[in-house]
Structure 1
Amino acid sequence: MTTDNDGIRDLARGMRLLWRATGGARRGPKPTLTVDQVVRAAIEIADARGLSALSMRAVADRLGVGTMSLYTYVPAKAELVSLMLDALDAEGTLPHTIAGSWRERTESWAREDWALYHRHPWMLQASARHPLGPNTIRRFDSALRSLAATGLPVAELVATADVIDNYIRGMARRSIESRELQRRTGVSEERWWAELEPLLTQYVTADEFPAVRQAWAGGAFASDIDSFDYGLQRILDGVEGRIRALD
């Protein structure tokens, strides 16, 4: 579920705002704020209380201005969320600027995005349908430049970037949900599974679920393998296999 508008909007207006293409001098009193100040205040609210708590009134209150005056900077919440996402895409190092192989650059990109989602979990609640700003495009361009050394066809570069991005988002969502459950309930993941295990032993029998019981007996579910890193490495192994197949 998303909390910002994912339907048809005035995309031209949103793009002008994202790219700061105002198109002429502004009439009326001299502004007391900047769009960037509005965006930063909105990010602080979403970080603290989630995207559902974000409203134009909440941002106005945080900045100490009237709600109606805020609309002279950003026309609606949907455009504000797009600005917030683009601002956060400016965080971190562009992967193509990192010394190393395409794989090392891609690993850096994946870990930076993983950390970004954990700093700003509301990003995963935002609609995928929003105008793309300069920082978002710059980061995507950097990802493609990082993968270009693979020699894959351009269409496959885009598909590979999409696979990696979806993997990061999916794993981050799972991790953040687990963290939020622990915060709300006071029960850690480890404690929850420890309490469930005796019941699973009773219901998950070796006759009916032999593979699960074999993995269980072998300690697979108590493994210290980092699932995020393991999955990322297997994806990149697959990319390397594809590169070899094209040689």
Structure 2
Amino acid sequence: MSVEYSGTGDPARSLALLWRTREKASRRGGDLSVGRIVAAAIDLADAEGLAALSMRRVAERLGVGTMSLYTHVPGKGELLDVMLDTVHGETARPTDTADDWRARLTRVARDNRALYLRHPWLLQVATTRPPLGPNVTARYEHELSAVDGIGLTDLEMDAVVTLVDNYVHGAVRAAVEAAQALGRTGMTDEQWWQAHAPYLEKVLDPRRFPLAARVGTAAGQEYQAPGDPDRAFEFGLERLLDGVQALVDARGGPGRPPSPVTSG
């Protein structure tokens, strides 16, 4: 899978586009604008993947000449930066801080995972040099607010939100690949498992592979699939947050809220 890199465009032009500080009025192409170009590019990447993205293909989608796009967007590098910033504006960012930090970070992780599932091409973009646009900045502000005031230093706050973001980026890949497998093979995970399970039972010798046979059989019977990306994500997120909890406890911050008491 090919990888694109954010931040490869001209910095001044990218920032001008991201913050819309000097958007040009259209000279030709009717109501063509940065917003329309970016929306068409996102639709194209959603439908066909990032490998399909080019100025020519975006122009075709808009029904205009390729050169008319350059009136508004200098090139593919700048376009990709604005695409990234635009999709990061989709996630709701509630300002209510009544929840404890753990619930807030959980919501951040789940919202970011949902964003990747809506736009799988995000996994093909290396963002070690992120586009510094208004939506990416607002996302960072929101994520930091989830751990503000719980006893961490500024650097620890940055490290925690980076840890969560990196976890989501890695964990969501399995869910994206599972969804793409269905579209490309026409077979669900359950159908795949049912087709393979009878043969696996014959060849998987429990004397040679006692743990693989026992645990793999239990997991396969539970999931009716090679795995469950949703369950794996939630399990991993809880363990990650347990680690953050240990750091918060060491700093003397707020503890984990007690589990609700159930009756019956």
**Band of TM-score, shorter chain:** 0.7 to 0.9
* TM-score w.r.t. length of structure 1: 0.87
2:147 is aligned to: 147
Structure 2: stretches of 5+ with no match in the other structure? 253-264
Q: Give the CA deviation at 1:190.
A: 1.8
The question of 1:45 aligning with 2:50 is answered no
Q: Give the CA deviation at 1:115.
A: 1.2
- Compared with structure 1, are the counterparts of its residues 28 and 173 closer, same or farther at alpha carbon in structure 2 (3 Å cutoff)? closer
- Compared with structure 1, are the counterparts of its residues 189 and 132 closer, same or farther at alpha carbon in structure 2 (3 Å cutoff)? same
The question of 1:165 aligning with 2:165 is answered yes
Moved more, 48-57 or 68-77: 48-57
Answer yes or no: is the 8 Å Cα contact 1:121–1:176 preserved in 2. Answer: yes
Moved more, 157-166 or 84-93: 157-166
Distance 2:102 2:94 in 1: 10
Distance 1:21 1:99 in 2: 36
Q: Give the CA deviation at 1:20.
A: 2.1
Answer yes or no: is the 8 Å Cα contact 2:4–2:126 preserved in 1. Answer: yes
1:133 is aligned to: 133
Moved more, 129-138 or 49-58: 129-138
Distance 1:198 1:54 in 2: 43
1:234 is aligned to: 239
Answer yes or no: is the 8 Å Cα contact 2:10–2:78 preserved in 1. Answer: no
Match runs of 1:88-127 below 5 Å:
88-94=87-93, 96-97=95-96, 99-127=98-126
Distance 2:35 2:70 in 1: 14
The question of 1:16 aligning with 2:16 is answered yes
Structure 1: stretches of 5+ with no match in the other structure? none
Moved more, 169-178 or 147-156: 147-156
The question of 1:69 aligning with 2:68 is answered yes
Answer yes or no: is the 8 Å Cα contact 1:2–1:125 preserved in 2. Answer: yes
- Compared with structure 1, are the counterparts of its residues 7 and 103 closer, same or farther at alpha carbon in structure 2 (3 Å cutoff)? closer
Residue 147 of structure 1 aligns to a residue whose secondary structure is coil
More helix by share: 1
Aligned-residue CA RMSD (Å): 2.5
CA shift digits 1:24-48 (9 cap, x unpaired): x959947742211111111111112
Task: State the aligned residue count.
Answer: 244
For 1:11, give the aligned amino acid. Answer: P
2:56 is aligned to: 57
The question of 1:212 aligning with 2:212 is answered yes
Q: Give the CA deviation at 1:130.
A: 4.6
Distance 1:12 1:172 in 2: 33
For 2:246, give the aligned amino acid. Answer: G
Moved more, 123-132 or 36-45: 123-132
Percent sequence identity is 41
- Compared with structure 1, are the counterparts of its residues 73 and 28 closer, same or farther at alpha carbon in structure 2 (3 Å cutoff)? closer
